[in-house]
Chains A and B, each alone.
Chain A
């Protein structure tokens, strides 16, 4: 079966298969097909990982910026905290809907909501213990927390795969 997407690349792929078919054994053709599909899956997977990572970094950065903006309003601590959190959530939900057709609705919505909740809380917590960050530093810290969130998800993803393989068997 042709693993390519566009008709042009599909035709090219079929041509290569036919050429191989004439020269090589059926096993070699099978191996070529498997390799091509495998390479494509790896490229896809890598592209989505980069997309997930960039999205979480962006959400972390913007959540920190939202909290910073709320603080700059000069309201009482609880009011600015609630305003910052709500704003961070609104930004996260809006951006998640925008990237959903590419990254997937669950994949973009769930982890980014965690980041959008945790980043403002941590920044506010840091301020409460006397660690007040300047505006650009706070935003970069938010981005860094988004990156850390992505790394934690990567580890958890591997653990999930292993858990299901061990407990329920593969497909």
Chain B
């Protein structure tokens, strides 16, 4: 399963930059969200590294992805980052990382592409320190019936390429045990900047 997923994303690596290249529109919002990355940071699904340009300087970041080809492209972009940025291959659903290790976990358009987002979020909760922050830039299913239906229809074919457009990410974040501290609408109720926290024990 993990290998199949990895193969899908290896295939998508060549077209990824074109499809996700809307930094002109979303770049400022991402940069604003990522500015809050602090301490030891885990960045999930770095892809080809298009988001690296939005990382604040001087941070200590471990950026993971499931695809070797994506990581190879990201490595080129990582060279320009002025801070400590380490790239590694990992599956967010099965992280071989210690409990309560990171101060911040950040995701960017990740939960749409993970087969089991609830499991992934539980893993992220595990590796995050109590009181640590979860920063998410995600697209989710709209509450509007017409837009929600459209996203369901789109998912019928986008799923073939590894992306589900109709994920209930806010509900999944809460179910994983996070406390949401703020949600900002980036585009309607489809693209959201979510700020959450792992409750201190």
Contact = CB atoms under 8 A, between A and B. Distances in A.
Contact of B153 (A102, A104, A113, A161): A113
A160 B150 CA distance: 18
Given A101-B18, A160-B188, A169-B181, A110 B25 contact: no
A110 B154 CA distance: 8
Given A113-B153, A169-B182, A107 B147 contact: no
Contacts of B190: 106, 110
Interface string A100-126: 111111110111011001000000000
Contact of B182 (A107, A161, A168): A168
A100 B23 CA distance: 10
A48 interface: yes
Q: Is the interface of B mostly helix, strand, loop or mixed?
A: mixed
Interface string B136-160: 0001001010110011011000000
B185 interface: yes
Interface stretch (B66-74, B79-87, B191-199): B191-199
A8 B92 CA distance: 42
Interface string A21-47: 000000000000000000001001000
B21 interface: yes
Given A100-B22, A156-B144, A171 B182 contact: yes
Given A113-B153, A114-B150, A164 B189 contact: yes
Q: Is the interface of A mostly helix, strand, loop or mixed?
A: helix
B114 interface: no
A75 interface: no
Nearest to B187: A107
Contact of A164 (B19, B146, B184): B184
Nearest to B26: A104
Nearest to B24: A102
29 contacts: A41-B28, A44-B25, A97-B19, A100-B19, A100-B22, A102-B22, A102-B25, A103-B22, A104-B187, A105-B19, A106-B139, A106-B187, A107-B22, A107-B25, A110-B147, A110-B151, A110-B165, A110-B190, A111-B147, A113-B154, A114-B150, A156-B144, A157-B187, A163-B189, A164-B185, A164-B189, A169-B181, A170-B184, A171-B193
Given A110-B147, A170-B182, 16 more contacts: A44-B25, A44-B28, A97-B19, A101-B24, A102-B24, A102-B25, A103-B25, A105-B19, A107-B187, A109-B154, A156-B144, A160-B185, A160-B188, A164-B185, A168-B180, A171-B33
Which 3 A-B pairs have CB atoms at the shortest separation, nearest pair first? A104-B22, A168-B183, A101-B21
Interface of A: 41, 44, 48, 97, 100-107, 109-111, 113-114, 117, 153, 156-157, 160-161, 163-164, 167-171
Interface of B: 18-22, 24-26, 28, 32-33, 139, 142, 144, 146-147, 150-151, 153-154, 165, 180-185, 187-193, 195
